[in-house]
Amino acid sequence: MSDSDFIEGVNASARNVFAFVFIDPKLLDPRDPHSADNRNYVRGELLSALSDLRTNFPDAEVDRVIDGALSSAPSVERRRLDVPGSVSIDVSTLDSRDKHSQANRDYIRGELNGHISNLGRSMTDQQVDDIIDDALLSSPSGTGRFAIRNLKVNICLVNTQAEHSDSKNELASTASGIRTARLRPVPGTNAIWDRATGEHEGEHGNRDTLTSPTTKLSIISETRGDLQALKWLRDNGHNDVAQALTDYRVLSAVHSRDASHATGVALIGSGVSAVNDDYVKAAEQMRSKILTAVSNEHNLGSERNALRMFEYNPGRFVRTVERALARGEFSGGDASPALETHVRAYIDAFKRQVSGITPPVPSGARASVDLEAGSAPTLTIGGVTAPEFFARIADPDFVPQTVASNDPALSETSVRTPDATVQARTVAVTV
Ligand SMILES: [Zn+2]
């Protein structure tokens, strides 16, 4: 299987799972979703993974799995399935003085594994302790047999990575809502991003999947997944990828169509507990408030045209947002009390990750021309030579051109501000 890093991540972060069902959307024919071939493949995967629980999967159920894999991959859904039959245990084997001892738990787990392999291992300590309590309650004298009935187990339906979601550029674009060409180079390798994606999705496998969650529940669930991914990234020294993922989530509040993955501000802050009603309201307002502010200042007439301006002149776009923030346009009225915090995070993430703009000038950088040091005047900015300065602040994707074109430009005019070079570079596409 080519998705090994993704699958490793899912296996590592989803806990207490009785069985994983892996569906590879690349093996499905999307032109005829409910074809016999598609159904045979999916039914085969369900039967082989869940043979101890179910032997029959009707077409309607198989078709739902196919539709899910074709519409949302990668993804993980957790389901609870009934365990057939019952398991009879000998109550006298349990130590009633130390009910939740390791020996008692091991005994129960062993009996469950004897019924269906992995059944006991997939149970949490809490589930096993509940069984022990029930058994001892049913037989206070500690004799006789007790039947464990109505057991349920967690299974995870895993849709592995689709054709359009199995490289770091595609994952970055999906996470941010911004096409790759508008993003600075994505840090890390494809394998690192696949693994982090698996860690995120596996965390979804730890909680029952809700069929129609609210935006708040969705952001909370996505924050949990992202925290798991960030933990793995940081534990393994990929701090640059962790920063990029956080930034992409901040950007998604504006650049994707819904706020369901607007986890960024929570990831920067206190995690899941940050996601209160004000947070959710701010996340839901971001797209419209920012695009309206840009549209209004430049008389663009619509949010759609504001998005066009983002495409053609991202530097001007973000400076407009900064001015609107300074004027207090994101506070008061119907604005969430948390909106300004979200907008600030957006501006920071934008400057770090969007290509075609100049990052902030290092503080204390001053341009000075030394006419005394010899026959040719030398220009330094912030203590370094001008070409070094511009190379340091240039967009990575523009570095070769920027350095090459700065020398002649600088010899014509004594001092150019960094902003002026950006204007010059983008003048042909000004909106
Ligand atoms: Zn997710």
pLDDT at 310: 97
Strand partners, 234: none
Instruction: With CA atoms as reference, report the closest residue to 118 among 126, 109, 127.
Output: 109
Q: How far is the CA of 404 from the centre of ligand 1 (A)?
A: 43
Q: How far is the CA of 282 from the centre of ligand 1 (A)?
A: 20
d(CA 23, CA 75): 10
Q: How far is the CA of 200 from the centre of ligand 1 (A)?
A: 6
For tokens 């991202």, the residue is 314
Identify whether the C-beta of residue 375 lies closer than 8 Å to the C-beta of residue 388: no
For tokens 């999967």, the residue is 57
Strand partners, 171: none
Examine residue 74 and say whether the peptide bond preceding it is cis (omega within 30 degrees of 0): yes
Q: How far is the CA of 12 from the centre of ligand 1 (A)?
A: 16
Q: How far is the CA of 171 from the centre of ligand 1 (A)?
A: 12
pLDDT at 211: 76
Q: How far is the CA of 264 from the centre of ligand 1 (A)?
A: 13
Q: Which residues contact 128 (CB under 8 A, 6 or more apart)?
A: 105, 108, 109, 120
Q: How far is the CA of 224 from the centre of ligand 1 (A)?
A: 9
Identify whether the C-beta of residue 184 lies closer than 8 Å to the C-beta of residue 353: yes
Identify whether the C-beta of residue 198 lies closer than 8 Å to the C-beta of residue 161: no
Q: How far is the CA of 202 from the centre of ligand 1 (A)?
A: 9
Q: How far is the CA of 124 from the centre of ligand 1 (A)?
A: 23
Q: How far is the CA of 225 from the centre of ligand 1 (A)?
A: 6
Q: How far is the CA of 377 from the centre of ligand 1 (A)?
A: 57
CA 122, 127, 128, 134 dihedral sign is negative
Q: How far is the CA of 56 from the centre of ligand 1 (A)?
A: 30
Q: Which residues contact 323 (CB under 8 A, 6 or more apart)?
A: 297
SS3 category, 89: strand
d(CA 218, CA 396): 35
Tens digits of residue pLDDT in 177-228: 999 999 999 999 999 999 999 999 999 999 887 777 899 999 999 999 999 9
d(CA 164, CA 288): 28
d(CA 138, CA 249): 51
Tens digits of residue pLDDT in 92-103: 999 989 999 999
pLDDT at 411: 27
Q: How far is the CA of 193 from the centre of ligand 1 (A)?
A: 14
Instruction: With CA atoms as reference, report the closest residue to 254 among 265, 242, 268.
Output: 265
Instruction: List Cα–Cα distances, 26 to 41, 78, 196, 223, 290, in angstroms.
Output: 12, 21, 20, 28, 37
d(CA 394, CA 405): 12
Identify whether the C-beta of residue 179 lies closer than 8 Å to the C-beta of residue 99: no
Q: How far is the CA of 350 from the centre of ligand 1 (A)?
A: 22
Amino acid identity of residue 36, one-letter, is A
Instruction: With CA atoms as reference, report the closest residue to 390 among 381, 316, 368.
Output: 381
Q: How far is the CA of 219 from the centre of ligand 1 (A)?
A: 9
Q: How far is the CA of 5 from the centre of ligand 1 (A)?
A: 17
pLDDT at 418: 36
pLDDT at 95: 92
Q: How far is the CA of 386 from the centre of ligand 1 (A)?
A: 45
Instruction: With CA atoms as reference, report the closest residue to 87 among 127, 57, 125.
Output: 127
**What token pair was written down for 79?**
């389901």
431 residues of the chain, pLDDT tens digit each = 458 999 999 999 999 999 999 999 999 999 999 999 999 999 999 999 999 999 999 999 999 999 999 998 899 999 999 999 999 999 999 998 999 999 999 999 999 999 999 999 999 999 999 999 999 998 877 778 999 999 999 999 999 999 889 899 999 999 999 999 999 999 999 999 999 999 999 999 998 877 778 999 999 999 999 999 999 999 999 999 999 999 999 999 999 988 999 999 999 999 999 999 999 999 999 999 999 999 999 999 999 999 999 999 999 999 999 999 999 999 999 999 999 999 999 999 999 999 988 655 555 556 666 555 555 566 665 555 665 545 444 444 444 433 333 332 222 222 333 333 333 332 222 22
Q: How far is the CA of 109 from the centre of ligand 1 (A)?
A: 32
pTM for this predicted structure: 0.80
Q: How far is the CA of 226 from the centre of ligand 1 (A)?
A: 8
> 367 — phi, psi (to 5°)?
-90, 135
Q: How far is the CA of 203 from the centre of ligand 1 (A)?
A: 8
pLDDT at 370: 59
Q: How far is the CA of 61 from the centre of ligand 1 (A)?
A: 23
Q: How far is the CA of 405 from the centre of ligand 1 (A)?
A: 44
Q: How far is the CA of 145 from the centre of ligand 1 (A)?
A: 44
Q: How far is the CA of 221 from the centre of ligand 1 (A)?
A: 7
SS3 category, 123: coil
